[in-house]
Amino acid sequence: MIPVPYYLTISAVLFTVGMAGVLVRRNALVIFMAIELMLNSVNLTFVAFARQLAAIEGQVAVFFVIVIAAVEVVVGLAIIIAIFRARSTVDIDDVDLLRG
Amino acid sequence: MLSLIIFLPLLGGLIILFLPKTSERAMKQIALICSTASLVFSLLAVTQFRLGGGMQFQERYSWIPSIAVNYHLGVDGLSLPLIVLTAVLSVLSVIYSWRMDVRLKEYLFLFLLLETGMLGVFAALDFFLFYIFWEVTLVPMYFLIGIWGGPRREYAAIKFFLYTLVGSLAMLLAILILYFNAEPHTFSMLELIRQQPLADAPLLAALAFWGFFLSFAIKVPMWPFHTWLPDAHVEAPTAGSVILAGILLKMGTYGFVRVSLPMLPGTFKAYAFFIAVLALLGIVYGALVAMAQTDLKKLVAYSSVNHMGYVMLGIAAAAGAVGDPSKAAAAATALNGAVFEMIAHGIITGGLFFIVGVLYDYRAHTRGVDEFGGLGARLPVYSGITTLAMLASLGLPGLMGFVAEFLVFLGSFGVFPYLTAVAVTGVVFTAAMFLWTIQRIFLGPLNPRWATLADMDAREKLTLVPLAVLMVIFGLYPKPLLDLINAAMSGLVTALR
Amino acid sequence: MSASDLWSIVPELWLAGLAIFLLLVDLLTARKSLVGVVAVMGLLLSIIPIGSLLTQGARTVIFGSYAVDGFAVFFKILTVIATALVVLAAIDWLPGRSQYEGEFYALLVFTALGLVLMAASTDIILLALSIEFVSLTSYVLAGYLKGDVKSNEAGVKYFLYGAAASAVMLFGFSILYGLTGSTNLYEIARRVANAPLPALYLSIALMLSGFGFKISMVPFHQWTPDVYEGAPTPVAAYLSVASKAAGFAALVRMLMVVVDPGRLNWILLIAVLSAVSMTLGNLLALPQRNIKRMLAYSSISHAGFLLIGVAAFRGDFGTPGLLIYLLGYMFTQLGAFFVAALIGQQLGTDDIPDYAGLSRRAPVSALLMAVFMLSLTGFPPTSVFIGKFYVLAGAIDNGLLWLAIVGVVNSVISLYYYAGVIRAMYVMPAASTVPLREPAALQVALGIAGLGTLLIGLYPQPIIDLARSAVLLLRI
């Protein structure tokens, strides 16, 4: 069996990759995908801990996080589409009416 | 009684706020009635005041019990004269402002709000209440300067606002330090004086002291915190200048006597010499800079820095004598002088700002000292009152300023002899400055530009004659006022010995 | 779980029912302002079940995941009042800008439900869900004006920022769960003593990003000015008070229940964040010309002030002060935004210089705006003064004198830009003297905000009692 710390390491790596994606990429959709990656690293952590501690709450939490991710897709994509229709771009550096 | 005195003006202000914009006459009448009523009640309080009776007319109601805040008012020989002075100058300012026509409603409302704030500061015996009234005075003054002021009014107004807010917030911290060190926690000033909560905590005491110091010194203003004053004075409308010089500056010195001295005597004593030096610098600096001014209003403003220096010298001397019974008599004299100077400066400088306003607002529209000349023959009444006020300000015996300065010097000499000796030279500069000013404005050949200038009208006389009369009366017979002050000050000095 | 548990969450059920009912009303009527009126009535009625909770003792319901205590009740009251006022203001503001009026009110009420849940959650799963709930409805509200590119931009920025922040926070939750094996806050508090310290630090730091985002604390504040400027003005008002308040509720509950400061010194961390938020927010507010951006930066600075109350949690001043501050700030900040909404609607501008001569054109609104600006600066007798007084007192009581001094210095700086608004309204000459129309519902909302600001300032005793009892129950 693969020890729990391995899972945690993987999830930490996933989280870091996601974080880096959010900070580095300028395309709103890609940023959005990076956020999904972070949410999945959260899931992995929850499951790994739930397994290690033999406590069920972690697995329950995962279901909720999946729901959260799904709802974010619904709302987020709608907002991104709205801005794409108005500006024909989803590059967040071009979305710069508000500054000062 | 005290609540009535304090809140009558505010009541009038609120009524004015709800009057239609067109009924200007009614607004002015309400303002006059309310401020006069306040004055009448304050005079009534004087007649019922018992000398040596300590705090009187006390009112005390629970306000915010969970932090032990009370609505607590009371007056003694220190605050009562200041309350009467406030009421007098407010009534006169309303009379003087009769011709005001720009945004009258807002003007009168702010003015009356300001009066309530000032009266409240002098009557409050609870720090929370004191702080609220203290802050309430800032806002109307900002508007008075900002809306009705001179050409650089916006700059002057915000400078005044920022400066004094720094001070009052520093005071808030100091108040909180006192509050948390008292047991039980209290905002009552009398209780804090009795408890002396910081007597054994020198570091906290020093912090609290400098917090209060910053607040009061900015208000006084002491050198080097005075830089807001010339701007504010020059730009403020006449009535605003009068109130600013006559009352608001006194709030600073009042704070030193009411708060710093009795609550933190040990700390004040430790820094008394330093503060006396600052006061001395203010005296000399104020007089010298005033001499160099050609703007009449600026000249009076700097002479205020000079005069408030005398007040601070007297207070610092009293602080320097804390804990030294052999100097108690000198301390009492110095304090009496300082408080008397507060009143005297309120009357005299208030009068001087009216005088400048009479010339500037409705006649010459210039304040350049050098642009006048020979007005003495043209405006006899005006010249007479101006000369009287300036002589009183420079400390001519027989007038009010002399009594005050004499007492200050007499008392301070017993504590800081060398500093006092230097300070006396300030009088020479002041005298030179005012005499020179009188000469430049009233003597010499008449500048033909002013050939058609009219003398003071009835309303202006009504404003200035009472002040002139007071200057003479208290100059010749200061005893009633001095007794009143002395009753409070000797008690304070006894407590500090 | 029992039937009495359901009775304890009647306010939440009421809000959920109200929101659904509003959607129905919206279907059935063509007069959309009716939906708003129904929303206000429904929100006001919810005060009855909320008030009935006041008399009951503190407890948790639904398997210990949901608190029914004074603290939660306080935030329920705050949220309901704020929502009602914002709906009231939106009734006059929204028509002509969006064709989906009814849904707007329903979304606001849904958001209120989320905020109420957030303030009362004692289980990290429920907490995460309610925070997400609030975020999702807020994203939609921020980008509500589909035809307005600024609103779109506000929506997308808020969304990307918020989603990233909550992902980070969830990662923090997962670590906390791993350290303790429980999702219940009280259970976690019992077990956390054995957790390794570095991991605990990491999880707290990660969680702070989520809370910090909600309360717009530095360094999670960058979204604030853009979103406030672009979002519909009532929404910006709502985010700046209700969302911030709920964020503070969750933060305080988390820190005070879970983490013993003796073990992990979060006091210093919060104090430093507070000082930085105050200062940075203020300095950035100074050059602003747009009133909504200015209020956004000032709200960052107020978040710093509120954090003083979190850091100074010992004694009778800090935490009650935080609650008093939040309530007082709610009235004042809402009022300021309502005036901005009024001007935005009547003059079509949010620039402060365009407020010139407002004292002539809309004297009542100008007077109220002046009161709000002075209140935000902290002048007595106004509500924010009482709040500032309390948190400063708390700082001194807790030996954080340096933080109090930072706060005081920042108050002085803030005067400069708040006075700038007053200067424009009262000192600068009017470009036109045509009186402005002042719509009725907006006027009512403004009046209530003004009244609240002054009443709390003049007679704070009832609010103080409420806040104290709220905090008392939290500590059990």
A touches which chains (3+ CB pairs under 8 A)?
A: C
Q: Which of A93, A39, A33, A99 is nearest to A63 (CA)?
A: A39
**Chain B environment of C465 (Cβ under 8 Å):** 66
Please, how many CA atoms are within 13 Å of residue C428, restricted to the half-sphere of its CB? 18
Which residue(s) pair with C99 in the sheet?
none
- Tell me which amino acid residue B342 is: M
Instruction: Specify the pLDDT at position B314.
Output: 93
3-state secondary structure of C66: strand
Query: To the nearest whole angstrom, how far is the Cα of C396 from the nearest Cα of chain A?
Result: 36
- Which amino acid appears at position B226 of this protein? H
Q: How far apart are CA C211 and CA B371, in angstroms?
A: 67
What is the separation of C-alpha B49 from the centre of its chain, rounded to a whole number of angstroms? 22
**Backbone dihedral angles phi then psi of residue B70, each to the nearest 5 degrees:** -120, 155
Can you read off the two tokens belonging to residue B212?
């209060």
Q: Which residues of C touch B (CB under 8 A)?
A: 316, 359, 374, 377-381, 389, 392-393, 396-397, 401, 404-405, 408, 411-412, 415-416, 419, 423, 426-427, 459-461, 464-465, 468
Interface present between C and A (3 or more CB pairs within 8 Å)? yes
For strand B69-75 and strand C59-61, is the pairing parallel, antiparallel, or unpaired?
Answer: unpaired
Residues in chain C: 476
Q: Please state, in angstroms and rounded to a whole number, the distance separating the CA atoms of residues B141 and B138.
A: 5
DSSP assignment of C220-266: S-THHHHHHHHS-HHHHHHIIIIIHHHHHHHHHHIIIII--TTTS-H
Residues 47-86 of A with CB under 8 A from C: 48-49, 52-53, 55, 57-58, 60-61, 64-65, 68, 71-72, 75-76, 78-80, 82-83, 86
Q: Are C233 and C309 in contact (CB under 8 A)?
A: no
Question: With an 8 Å Cβ cutoff, are A57 and C229 in contact?
Answer: no
Q: In the beta sheet, which residues pair with residue C66?
A: C61, C121
User: What is the pLDDT confidence band of residue B19, given thresholds at 50, 70 and 90?
Assistant: confident
Distance, CA of C40 to CA of C306 (rounded, Å): 28
A-chain CB neighbours of C143 within 8 Å are 79, 82
| Whole-number pLDDT of residue B497 | 72
C164 touches chain A (CB under 8 A): yes
Cis peptide before B397 (omega within 30 of 0): no
Q: List the Cα angle B469/B471/B472 in 5-degree steps.
A: 65
C383 Cβ neighbours under 8 A, 6+ residues apart? C327, C328, C329, C331, C332, C375, C452, C453, C454, C455, C456, C457, C460
Judge if the upstream peptide bond of residue B202 is cis by omega within 30 degrees of 0: no
Minimum CA–CA partner of C373 in chain B: B139
Q: Which CATH number fits domain A4-87: 1.10.287.3510, 2.40.50.100, 2.60.40.10, 3.30.1330.10?
A: 1.10.287.3510
Q: Is A91 exposed, middle or buried (0-12, 13-18, 19+ CB in 10 A)?
A: middle
User: What does the mean pLDDT of chain B come to?
Assistant: 89
SS3 state at B236: coil
Pair of tokens at residue B127: 């720090």
Q: Above 60 in pLDDT, residue B116?
A: yes
The closest alpha carbon to C52, from C99, C108, C8, belongs to: C8
Residue B70 bridge partners (DSSP): B62
The stretch B204-211 carries a mean pLDDT of 93
Distance CA(B367)–CA(B383), nearest Å, equals 15
Q: Could you say which DSSP state residue C423 is in?
A: I
Give the pLDDT confidence score for residue C300 in this predicted structure.
95
Task: Give the span between the Cα atoms of C211 and C227, in whole angstroms.
Answer: 17
Distance CA B492, CA B261 (A): 9
Domain residue ranges of chain A, discontinuous segments joined by +: 4-87
Angle between helices B127-148 and B153-181 (to 10 degrees): 180
Q: Provide the 3-class DSSP secondary structure of residue C24.
A: helix
Model pLDDT for residues B123-138, shown as the tens digit of each residue: 999 999 999 999 999 9
C347 Cα to chain B: minimum distance (Å)? 24
Distance of CA C131 to the CA centre of its chain: 13
pLDDT at residue C161, as a whole number: 92
Q: What is the mean pLDDT of each run of 10 residues along chain A (100 residues)?
A: 87 94 91 94 94 88 93 91 85 75
8 Å CB contact between B244 and B90: no
Contacts of C120 by beta carbon, 8 Å cutoff, 6+ apart: C66, C67, C68, C69, C71, C72, C75, C76
Report pLDDT for C359. Answer: 87
Q: What is the pLDDT of residue B310?
A: 93
pLDDT at B99 over 60: yes
Which tens digits make up the pLDDT trace of C139-157?
A: 999 999 888 888 988 999 9
B122 burial (CB, 10 Å; 0-12 / 13-18 / 19+) is buried
Contact assessment for residue B325 and residue B424, using Cβ atoms and an 8 Å cutoff:
no
The count of other CB atoms within 10 Å of the CB of residue A6 is 10
CA dist., res. B277 & res. B279, Å (int):
5
pTM for this prediction: 0.94
Residues A50-63 as b/e (b if ≥16 CB within 10 A, e otherwise) read bebbebebbeebbe
Question: Which one of C389, C397, C426 has the shortest CB-CB distance to B147?
Answer: C426
Instruction: Look at the block and give the residue holding tokens 């003054």.
Output: B141
Confirm or reject contact between B19 and chain C (CB < 8 A): no
**The two structure tokens encoding residue C110:** 């849904």
Task: Name the nearest CA neighbour of B393 among B302, B479, B292, B280.
Answer: B302
pLDDT in the model for residue B453? 79
Identify which of C152, C163, C175 has the shortest CB distance to residue A72: C163
With beta carbons less than 8 A apart as the criterion, state whether C445 and C88 touch: yes
* Minimum-distance CB partner of C412 among B143, B165, B173: B165
**By the 8 A CB rule, do B240 and B149 touch?**
yes
CB atoms within 10 A of CB B469: 12
Instruction: Going from the first residue of chain C to its last (476 residues), give the mean pLDDT of each consecutive group of 10, the final group possibly shorter.
Output: 81 95 91 91 93 82 86 93 95 87 93 95 93 94 89 91 93 93 89 87 91 91 93 94 94 87 86 95 93 94 94 88 95 95 89 88 91 93 93 92 93 93 88 83 93 93 90 63
**Residue C474: its pLDDT value, please?**
63
The helices-and-strands tally (H runs, E runs) of chain B is 21, 2
CB contact under 8 A, C379 and B135: yes
Question: Going by C-beta distance under 8 Å and a sequence separation of 6 or more, which residues neighbour residue B25?
Answer: none
Which residues in chain C are closer than 8 Å to B143, comparing Cβ atoms?
Answer: 426
The pLDDT-based confidence of B102 (bands split at 50, 70, 90) is: confident
Residue B275 Rama label (left phi>0; alpha psi -120 to 50; beta): alpha
- For residues B184-213, average pLDDT: 90
CB C242 within 8 A of CB C83: yes
Asked if B39 contacts B115 with a C-beta cutoff of 8 angstroms, the reply is no
What is C301-362 written as a DSSP string? HHHHHHHHHHHT-STTTHHHHHHHHHHHHHHHHHHHHHHHHHHHHHHS--BGGGGTTHHHHS
Contact A80 C174 (CB under 8 A): no
Give the ranges where B294-399 is alpha helix by DSSP (H): 296-320, 328-359, 375-378, 380-394
Helix axes C318-347, C363-377, angle to 10 degrees: 150
Contact call for residues C204 and C268 (beta carbons, < 8 A): no
Cα distance from N-terminal residue to C-terminal residue, chain B: 33
Choose the closest CB to A98 out of C128, C146, C230.
Answer: C230
pLDDT at C322: 94
CB atoms inside a 10 Å sphere around CB C267: 18
Chain-centre distance of CA B405, in angstroms? 16
The residue of C278, C377, C396 whose CB has the most chain B CBs within 10 angstroms, and thus the best one to mutate to test that interface, is C396
B193 Cβ under 8 Å from any chain C Cβ: no
Domain-wise residue ranges, chain B: 264-497
Number of Cβ atoms within 10 Å of the Cβ of B193 = 17
Over residues C172-209, the pLDDT tens digits come to 999 999 999 889 998 898 888 888 889 999 999 999 99
